[in-house]
Amino acid sequence: MTASTSQQNAAFGLWPSPISAAVVAAGATPLSQPQADGQDAYWLAGRASEGGRTTLLRQRGAELVELTPAPFNVRSRVHEYGGGAYLVAAGTVYFSHFADNRIYTIAAGAAPQALTEPGSARYADFAHDAARNRLLAVREDHAGGSAASDRQPVNTLCAIGADGSETILARGSDFYAAPRLSPDGRSLAWLSWDHPRMPWQGTELWLAQVNADGSLAAPTLVAGGPEEAICQPEWSPAGVLHFVSDRSGWWNLYRLAGASVQPLCERAAEFGSPHWTFAVSMYGFSSNKDSDGEIVCTYIENGVSRLARLSPDSGKLAPIANPYQEIRELRVGGGVALILGGSPTIPLELARFELASATPQVLARSIAELPADGYLSVPESITYASGANGQRSAHAFYYPPCNADVTPDPAARPPLMVISHGGPTGMATNTLKLATQYWTSRGFAVLDVNYGGSSGFGRAYRDALKGQWGVVDVDDCVAGARYLATRGVVDPERLVIRGGSAGGLTTLCALTFHDVFKAGASYYGVSDLKGLDDDSHKFESHYNEYLIAPKPESDTLYLLRSPINHADRLTRPMIFFQGLDDKVVPPQQSEVMVAALRAAGVPVAYMTLEGEGHGFRKADSIVRTLEAELYFYLRIFGLTTPAQAAVVAIENLPVVAPTGKA
């Protein structure tokens, strides 16, 4: 796309933009889970135009091949959030098919063949045991039983033979992850944890011998516990177990030296990330030989990713020049690194780096064609005071409005959209996203907040949300809006907030308990904390014990912090978006709020989406929700809308003549 050479005047929010909702949907190609097998590169790509299915691609030389054509959907539902949905080992692919949760294999030149039988089990996070011709996996069995205690799924580690037969290797913990077999096949490492902990609060790293018959012997606790979170165990080519631990307050790299744990690089930086999905990789070994060399790693410092070589013996980091400020995943081996990264001017892309020369070759882009630079807002990283008496600092990315075709009125100020991310143990990044540029190119300013509780800033910052969900996150979003309004950067009368999932609770609390924001949008957001406990899936069923309080202390706090209990205080217009197949935050969480606002006479809109779960994957869903949210704000602000029929019905909306003025 090229920028126009003519300038025009238009009210903030009504700027003509080439970044339509359809352009956002067409550019929404999620990329994830890169893997390397020899010189071949593999990765997953989302297909919004095909109902949001995920397919597996392989790059071999100049040849790009889709290995899983429709209807195959390479996706796992273990823990509901999935991840770790495929593995490539010596040219053979193993993957989980979302429709039936079975594991399929793809041998060279062959069509996918089912390995496991239909049933109640789901699988993720695979490892290949070549010596025993079997696949290792995390297994989640949803068969259940008649007793209430049996209704939650049972998680184990299992081995799956070439004939599809299954053997349980480890059981007894509530959760398992990361089965990793040593290069000689004689040892297996894995992670486990139990309720009420989430994996970024405390996990255990176990190590066991693998007997000749494939069973495990003498399991030993290597590291971890209730207050130490371990992630990404990996074996070096020489058979030394490495892992990431936050025992220092930061996720740093360690290795097992005999019976002792040895730090490799003590730094106020995050070399790991929260385990929301399986098989995320942030480091690897540059050599495939049987002797250890350097480690290639990515780490987050002050919210920005770095890439470096790490000498395990000296602990020295040598930076590797690269164009990315977010590195979401890193796979290393054979002198090559696969990097899934982005920056304020680069949308998420997959690149292959020859480590000897650090020369990147882009293999895939999440956005095929970018708008001209004149329509793209480059964010500024800001830190501001928050909390009572400003005793805490919060972090955010600020995006100013940007459109080459428009001359803004110097006397006017733009509306501000504050984004509260999900998780809440998530993280806002500054990678270029068309979904953000959709707003900035129309004259909205955007503040993407990394409130207290976000990852990427160390354990103390993450733990700022302990017992304070609905307080600290809300304070940081409110403080960010006030900070920009006080500086005269944005219009204090047109501040809006939006969020999805946990960010939806932040949005609802900000609108219910504070008077800063004038309107908001909740995407599959939480409104009833007790209801969330009652409906939650196993993975998050005790998360509120950390975020709010254990029982019975939580009962009173649930009443105080659940927006549904204070609907009489929510007088700001809201729009709700809800996938009807959502198992993480079920539809009733939105429906109770919509009903309450409808009855109270507050302007409200509600859009449901068939076939969508927790997060919208279909192109049509992306288009409909963006257009409806924009239409909603323009009507609330009394701005002129394009000459078109109503995009979404807004109930209880007073008739106000549109002005079209800033």
> Is pLDDT above 70 for 1?
no
Which candidate, 200, 230, 448, places its Cα nearest to that of 326? 448
Section 575-590 average pLDDT: 90
In terms of Cα–Cα distance, which of 302, 332, 321 is closest to 430? 302
Hey, CA dihedral for 633, 637, 641, 645, is it positive or negative?
positive
- Report whether 635 contacts 654 (CB < 8 A): no
SS (H, E, C) 188-230: EEEEEECCCCCCCCCCEEEEEEECCCCCEEEEEEEEEECCECE
For residue 362, pLDDT over 70 is answered with yes
In 481-582, the DSSP E strands lie at: 495-500, 519-523, 574-579
Rank 5-9, 51-55, 161-165 by mean pLDDT and report only the highest: 161-165
Q: How confident is the model at residue 619 (pLDDT cuts 50, 70, 90)?
A: confident
Evaluate if residue 123 carries a pLDDT over 60.
yes
Lowest-pLDDT choice from 168-172, 605-609, 618-622, 625-629: 618-622
What letters, b where the CB count within 10 A reaches 16 and e where it falls short, cover 443-457?
bbbbbbbbbbbbbbb
> Residues 20-43: what's their mean pLDDT?
91
Backbone angle region of 634, left / alpha / beta, with phi > 0 → left and psi within -120 to 50 → alpha: alpha
Contact 453, 460 (CB under 8 A): no
pLDDT at 584: 81
Residue 302's pLDDT is 87
8 Å CB contact between 134 and 162: yes
Cα distance between residue 301 and residue 323, in whole Å = 16
Residue 472 has pLDDT above 90, yes or no: yes
User: Reduced to 3 DSSP states, what percent helix, strand and coil does the chain have, rounded to the nearest 5?
Assistant: 20, 35, 45
Helix (H, G, I), strand (E, B) or coil at 435: helix
Measured in residues, the chain has a length of 662
**Quick one: pLDDT at residue 341?**
97
The band of 146, judged by pLDDT with boundaries at 50, 70 and 90, is: very low
- pLDDT-based confidence at residue 109 (cuts at 50, 70, 90): confident
Token match 């008496």: residue? 389
Per-position DSSP letters for 72-107, written without gaps between them: --B---TTTT-B--EEEETTEEEEEBTTT--EEEE-
Tell me how far apart the alpha carbons of residues 166 and 123 are, in angstroms, rounded to a whole number.
12
Tokens of 514: 């504070």
Spatial contact of 31 and 364, defined as CB atoms under 8 Å apart: yes
Q: CA 270 from chain center: how many Å?
A: 16
Residue type at position 374: G
* DSSP single-letter state for residue 348: E
Q: What backbone phi and psi angles, to 5 degrees, belong to 57?
A: -115, 150
Question: What homologous superfamily does CATH list for 377-637?
Answer: Alpha/Beta hydrolase fold, catalytic domain (3.40.50.1820)
Sheet holding 86-89, edge to edge: 86-89, 92-96, 103-106, 113-114
Calpha distance 522→544 (Å, rounded): 20
Nearest CA to 614 among 523, 503, 496?
A: 523
Return the higher-pLDDT residue of 531 and 141.
141
How high is the pLDDT of residue 655? 64
| Statement: residue 368 has pLDDT above 90 | no
Burial class of residue 225, CB neighbours in 10 A (0-12, 13-18, 19+): middle
What are the structure tokens assigned to 236, written together?
């070096």
Answer yes or no: are the C-beta atoms of 271 and 252 closer than 8 Å.
yes
Q: What are phi and psi of 209, to 5 degrees?
A: -80, 150
Which DSSP state fits 158? Answer: E
**403-432 per-position pLDDT tens digit:** 999 999 889 999 999 999 998 999 999 999
Residue 153: CB partners within 8 Å, gap ≥ 6? 122, 140, 141, 142, 144, 538
Q: What is the chain's Cα-based Rg?
A: 25
The pLDDT of residue 644 is 56
Mean pLDDT throughout 80-90?
96
Q: Give the whole-number percent of the chain exceeding pLDDT 90.
A: 81
Confidence of residue 656 (pLDDT cuts 50, 70, 90): low
Measure the CA–CA gap between 129 and 133, rounded to whole angstroms. 6
397, pLDDT greater than 70: yes
**Identity of residue 162:** A
Whether pLDDT at 515 is above 70: yes
Distance between CA atoms of 422 and 241, rounded to whole angstroms? 33
Q: At what angle do helices 502-513 and 472-486 cross, to 10 degrees?
A: 60
C-alpha 392/C-alpha 270 separation (Å) is 20
Nearest to 518 by CA among 628, 632, 410: 632
Closest CA to 453 of 441, 461, 445: 461
Structure tokens at 607: 């859009």
Q: Are 593 and 19 in contact (CB under 8 A)?
A: no
Average pLDDT, the chain: 92
Number of Cβ within a 10 Å radius of residue 335 = 15
Tokens representing residue 136 in the block: 């290792």
Tokens (6 digits) for 213: 């018959």
Please report which confidence band the pLDDT of residue 148 belongs to, taking 50, 70 and 90 as the band edges. very low
